[in-house]
Structure 1
Amino acid sequence: MLTKAGATALDAARKKNVEAEVFLLYNRELSIELREARVETLKEAEEIGMGVRVLNHGRMGFAYSSDLSRAAILEVVDNAVSISNCMIADEYQCLVEPSQYYPPVSCFDQQIVDTMLEEKINLARASEKAARSFDKRIRMVEKSAYEDSHSITVIMNSNGLQASFAQNLAGIYIALVAQEEEDSQTGFAVKARRKITDLNPQQLGQEAASRAVRSLKARSMDSQCLPCVMEPYVATRFMGLLLPSLYGDAVLKGKSLWADKIGQPVASPLLQITDDGTLEDGLASAPFDGEGTPAQKNELIKDGLLQSYLYDNYSGRKAGRQSTGSGRRGSFRSLPAIGSSNLIISPGSLSPEQMIADIESGLLITEVMGMHTANPISGDFSLGACGILIKAGQLTRPVRGITIAGNLHQLLQNIEALGSDLRFYGAKAAPSIRFSQLSIGGE
């Protein structure tokens, strides 16, 4: 059905003497939410649609529809052509050429499809049971949830490109509250994987409970500069601040912290960052990106030196570079835009315990708030944070009501150790990271 709709759109575009790209998507999602081990909501939804980009002598127009009837397809093409007539010609606009090779990426698990609904509900229940048995101070499980999705993507264009793939994933989430006397703290954990057998709900429930319990009786601390260790979750949050500086369009606009720094040091020599669209079972793995460019592994930072930026087809042409397979498309309703696939900070060899063993006085950062306030162009940040004080190589008391502040460029220079505890949160992965110093604002 999708391929037939795409062919109809391409034929309509040909008759109007324009080039076209058709992006078609079918998506089905299942969402189950539990409260106190009882199913509170169960939703299943699906959508199907197409987005059409036309190139009319260098002028690009875009339109979309969730109706794949012939009449609707012809109307979408008409709308895209009408929009293109109002645009200015751009020599860098072009359609992707078909490739002879697309990497054989693993991104579909038949067991997700075959698993019965009650078994999926029990995965969420298992996380809640594990959380409650972890510590008697767990007072309430606000929500435990299971979700999965299944999608089929097809891309076709006037250059003869026709490529498709199916993917699915499953995930569980739990949010809870721990209480001791008058103090209460929240904890959460989330995990999404390509394989349903990799979810491990017991471990997830224990993790959420641990996050809540270890924060009980937290209070502020004195303002000072200290060595700090970021847990993997916090490190992946900072990766989101780092990303815009690696986008080719930001570099072209002069809005990247690392513009014109290829081959130059931008971080500690310990730092290695890759973006791998071909990673086995990676949540963002696919044989091709949102424009049809084959997926690839991109080395972004090696030994602290900047190696590459991420480009989609347009920004790559404008910069005189090849696309890095980084044209991301979240929906048939949107145009492709530069984005990462599986973004990974390579781990080191130290355990989390070894990371803090030689810190006389420091802070383990377990959570940050207000990441949206950070400036991705200058790299400046001032964020709310929570953590645990480190004294004589040991974790002591929990801390909250503090801020951490600095500049991303300087922070990356201050990396002095990387942990072996690589963790994926969505399509971003990082180990624990130790920094020589970080400014902490407290009492």
Structure 2
Amino acid sequence: MELEDKIERMLSLLKKRKVDEFEIFVSATDFINAESKAKSLNSLSRSRESGIGLRVVREGAFGFAYGDEPDDNLVESALASAKAQFTDPYNVIPGPCDEYTDVNAYDENVKAVDAEYCIERAIELETSAFETDPRVNKVRKASFSRAHKVIRIVNSKGIDASSKTTLLRASIMVTAAEDSDVQAGFDFDQSHFIDGLDVREVGRRAANMAVGMLGAKHINTTRMPALFERNSAAEFLSYMAGSFSGEAVAKGKSYLADKLGKRIFSPGIVIVDDPTVTGASDASSFDGEGVPSRRNVLVEDGVLKGFVYNTYWGMFSGKESTGNSVRSNYRDMPLLAVRHLCLEPSGDGLEEIL
């Protein structure tokens, strides 16, 4: 059954059961992944799935169920789930929203990518790492994948949002050796578009990282200025991500909870959560509840400006949703999380920073 047919069938079933507050989430994904080893195919996999998730509200309680196809059992399971839950005044389905930002994350050429293309790119990725420097002695994993995903969200409050996305991703881990010194390097990149991903460059970066670590020495613990490359900087951001959550703030689990409006970083630091940019892996015009995506400035000039919210935690905190409900597929209830956390560039080049 096509996604549109699943929606129409579920709407008919809900009307028959007189369910007047609901959310229907349907998705279909097609994923291919190839891995290269010794410059030949090591593994190849493909997965396809589609299904429907249903949230209902009965007497202030959420119920949730999912399945491959819409039927009476799915509706009954969602209603039974609601009956078993506690009443909560913040359990609401979001209402009609402003216009959605136009976000393009789809390429018909990527959708057409087949297994052979993925195999060729994985081998090319591995080969480029070996060709970069003779000290690269091993590639632990070189993978290339293609994903195509279609989503539609319809609810009883008037939201009807749909999207289709494509994504190419390459990742590689290598080791380099010189005498008894062995170091590792990792890199990855991704793009929604066929011409946006250079696998040879990904391989070169991983190789140069490993080679650049050869001869590295430990230093004594000290305080000094430090410059981190992009992957290390991204790890620092990922450690902080949960602290920007309105849920963590409400529960007293965020160390940033009492720092709103205060300087928490050096002047010039800007941190945003922006899934509307084309480069975001989760680039979309709406979130997991159909609420419009937007650019949320969390830190500006080093000052904490705000937190992120979904519908539930926004209402709980007396705030509006910032479009930060996430769900990976139809089997998941929407949760609150950052979607594309970024440390914005200062505009200075490497020489100016140094």
TM-score range (shorter-chain normalised) is over 0.9
2:32 corresponds to which letter in structure 1? L
Query: 2:272 & 2:140 partners in 1: Cα distance?
Result: 36
Q: Is the aligned partner of 1:151 residue 2:149?
A: yes
CA contact under 8 A between 1:10 and 1:158: conserved in structure 2?
no
Query: What's the counterpart of residue 296 of structure 2?
Result: 298
State the shift of 1:236 in Å: 0.8
1:5 corresponds to which letter in structure 2? K
CA contact under 8 A between 1:170 and 1:194: conserved in structure 2?
yes
2:262 corresponds to which letter in structure 1? Q
Query: What's the counterpart of residue 231 of structure 2?
Result: 233
Query: 1:327 & 1:64 partners in 2: Cα distance?
Result: 18
Q: Is the aligned partner of 1:33 residue 2:31?
A: no
Query: 1:296 & 1:224 partners in 2: Cα distance?
Result: 40
Query: What's the counterpart of residue 56 of structure 1?
Result: 58
Query: What's the counterpart of residue 350 of structure 2?
Result: 352
SS of 1:13's equivalent in the other structure is helix
Question: Aligned ranges for residues 114-193 of structure 1 at < 5 Å?
Answer: 114-115=112-113, 117-193=115-191
CA contact under 8 A between 1:178 and 1:213: conserved in structure 2?
yes
1:163 corresponds to which letter in structure 2? A
Within the candidate set 205, 208, 211, 2:209 is matched to 211
Deviation readout 1:30-60 (Å, 9 max, x if unpaired): 0011111101111111111111111002111
CA contact under 8 A between 1:10 and 1:21: conserved in structure 2?
no
Query: What's the counterpart of residue 252 of structure 1?
Result: 250
Query: 2:347 & 2:122 partners in 1: Cα distance?
Result: 33
Within the candidate set 266, 286, 289, 1:288 is matched to 286
Deviation readout 1:332-391 (Å, 9 max, x if unpaired): 1111111122222111133334433xxxxxxxxxxxxxxxxxxxxxxxxxxxxxxxxxxx
Q: How many percent identity over aligned positions?
A: 30
1:44 corresponds to which letter in structure 2? R
1:131 corresponds to which letter in structure 2? A
- The structure where strand makes up a greater share of residues is 1
Query: What's the counterpart of residue 81 of structure 1?
Result: 79
1:264 corresponds to which letter in structure 2? K
2:253 corresponds to which letter in structure 1? K
CA contact under 8 A between 2:61 and 2:88: conserved in structure 1?
yes
CA contact under 8 A between 1:271 and 1:301: conserved in structure 2?
yes
2:222 corresponds to which letter in structure 1? Q
Query: What's the counterpart of residue 341 of structure 1?
Result: 339
State the shift of 1:116 in Å: 5.1
Q: Is the aligned partner of 1:2 residue 2:3?
A: yes
Query: What's the counterpart of residue 219 of structure 2?
Result: 221
2:231 corresponds to which letter in structure 1? Y
Query: 2:101 & 2:308 partners in 1: Cα distance?
Result: 19
Q: Which moved more, 1:277-286 or 1:8-17?
A: 8-17
Off by >6 Å, runs of 4+ in structure 1: none
State the shift of 1:256 in Å: 1.3
SS of 2:227's equivalent in the other structure is strand
Deviation readout 1:94-151 (Å, 9 max, x if unpaired): 1112335211110101121234543433322222222212211111222322101001
Query: What's the counterpart of residue 97 of structure 2?
Result: 99
Deviation readout 1:138-165 (Å, 9 max, x if unpaired): 1122232210100100111122322211
Q: Which moved more, 1:322-331 or 1:180-189?
A: 180-189
SS of 1:220's equivalent in the other structure is coil
Query: 1:315 & 1:223 partners in 2: Cα distance?
Result: 41
The number of residue pairs the alignment matches comes to 352
SS of 1:196's equivalent in the other structure is coil
Query: What's the counterpart of residue 321 of structure 1?
Result: 319
Q: Which moved more, 1:90-99 or 1:33-42?
A: 90-99
User: What TM-score do the two structures reach when normalised by structure 2?
Assistant: 0.94
1:135 corresponds to which letter in structure 2? D
SS of 2:223's equivalent in the other structure is strand
State the shift of 1:12 in Å: 2.7
SS of 2:91's equivalent in the other structure is coil
2:134 corresponds to which letter in structure 1? K
CA contact under 8 A between 2:105 and 2:192: conserved in structure 1?
yes
Query: RMSD over aligned Cα, in angstroms?
Result: 1.7
Q: Which moved more, 1:236-245 or 1:263-272?
A: 263-272
Deviation readout 1:10-47 (Å, 9 max, x if unpaired): 33333334321111110110001111110111111111
Deviation readout 1:60-86 (Å, 9 max, x if unpaired): 111111x21x5xx32111111111112
Query: 2:217 & 2:261 partners in 1: Cα distance?
Result: 44
2:29 corresponds to which letter in structure 1? N
For structure 1, the 5+ residue unaligned runs are: 357-443
CA contact under 8 A between 1:10 and 1:157: conserved in structure 2?
no
User: What TM-score do the two structures reach when normalised by structure 1?
Assistant: 0.76
Query: 2:218 & 2:258 partners in 1: Cα distance?
Result: 41
